[in-house]
A = this chain, B = another copy of it.
Amino acid sequence: MWNTSYVLVSRPLGLATEANFRREELPLAEPGEGEVLVRIDYISLDPAMRGWMNAGTSYVPGVELGDVMRAFAAGEVISSRHQNWKVGQTVTGLLGVQTYAMVKGELLTAVDTNSAPLSWYLGILGMPGLTAYFGLLDKGNPKPGETVLVSGAAGMVGSLVGQIARIKGCRVAGIAGGEDKCAFLKNELNWDEVINYKSIADLPAALKERLPNGIDIFFDNVGGNILDAALTNLARGCRIIICGAISQYNQLTTQGPSNYMKIVTARGTLTGVIVLDYFDKAAEALNDLSRWLREGKIIYNEHIIPGIDQFPFALNLLFSGGNTGKLLLQNKFE
């Protein structure tokens, strides 16, 4: 049996291309003492991966050149020499962009595929779900009746943030790119206001008109002009939660928010959410998220691309706005 992996060989300047990776085919080894061999069924494609391709450390160190590209992934143990794991168990972890992973047993997390599909543990029941949950609830502290604006609103994290905000009794507005995404947010998720930034010439004016009481919580996945537009319509005491800046990850220089003084005049705060900080509280979040899914209060969509050879093309869908819902690569085995 052979493992197919994508190894980072150069650092992208803008969007990652196939030239930044070497596709490697290596025979599978047997696990050493304490190691586990996992067959990877799903690879999570997340905006943060673009940052991991850069040199240096942001909240985690960048991927070293010559290493398999880092990614969260989910699969099944097919061979184990670690006491905690046995063949057939389903797991998640930082398993990389590859078809099989050999990892130390300590680095795996067990997931229960009786209660939810395996792939969900990379999305709503994984890092992105926890990011949305704690970013909104812990950093934002939303109160009933407050106005919550979400950018990247049709993405995995954005659409979940808005749905949780609705559960908490907030008025929810979303900014997304494209009619289909906006129709989904408006008609299927019943958000109060949805703005297609691609069809709006003056986003600040649109925000002022649609959200006349201002924005109490802005959950930003996008950055750039969308962040700057939101800053023009802040309510007194607003909380700005920076989750990502997907419009900027492929730029050589980041566009800073030129309207940042509006945070001062609005007596607001800007802060961010890093999901790593919440692992010890994950059970509480997963309990809530699972219940809301069962109760039909949350709609969860996946966008699954078959075949590891679609990497990095599939990753770039995140940056072109080509995905709706949680983006995943699915490995195919004969």
Contacts and interface: CB of A to CB of B under 8 A. Distances in A.
A261 interface: yes
A277 B267 contact: yes
A271 B261 CA distance: 9
B256 A228 contact: yes
A261 B245 contact: yes
Contacts of A270: 260, 263, 269-271
Q: Report the interface size class on chain A.
A: 20 to 34
B260 A267 contact: no
Interface in A255-285: 255-261, 263-265, 267-274, 277
Nearest to A260: B256
A274 B257 CA distance: 20
A254 B264 contact: no
A223 B260 CA distance: 10
Copies of this protein in the assembly total 2
* Residue of A228, A245, A261 contacting most chain B CB atoms (<10 Å): A261
A253 interface: yes
B257 A263 contact: no
A58 interface: yes
A47 to B, nearest CB: 12
A182 interface: no
Given A267-B272, A270-B270, A258 B255 contact: yes
Q: Which of A254, A255, A260 has the most CB of B within 10 A?
A: A260
A220 B45 CA distance: 38
Given A269-B271, A270-B270, A271-B269, A258 B263 contact: no
Nearest to A253: B258
A271 B265 contact: no
Most B CB contacts (10 A, CB to CB) among A254, A256, A258, A271 go to: A256
Interface string A102-141: 0000000000000000000000000000000000000000
A272 B265 contact: yes
Contact of A257 (B256, B273, B277): B256
Interface string A235-267: 000000010010000000111111111011101
A251 to B, nearest CB: 10
A59 interface: yes
Contact of A267 (B257, B269, B274): B274
14 contacts: A223-B261, A228-B256, A242-B260, A245-B261, A254-B258, A256-B256, A257-B260, A264-B271, A264-B272, A264-B274, A267-B272, A268-B271, A269-B270, A269-B271
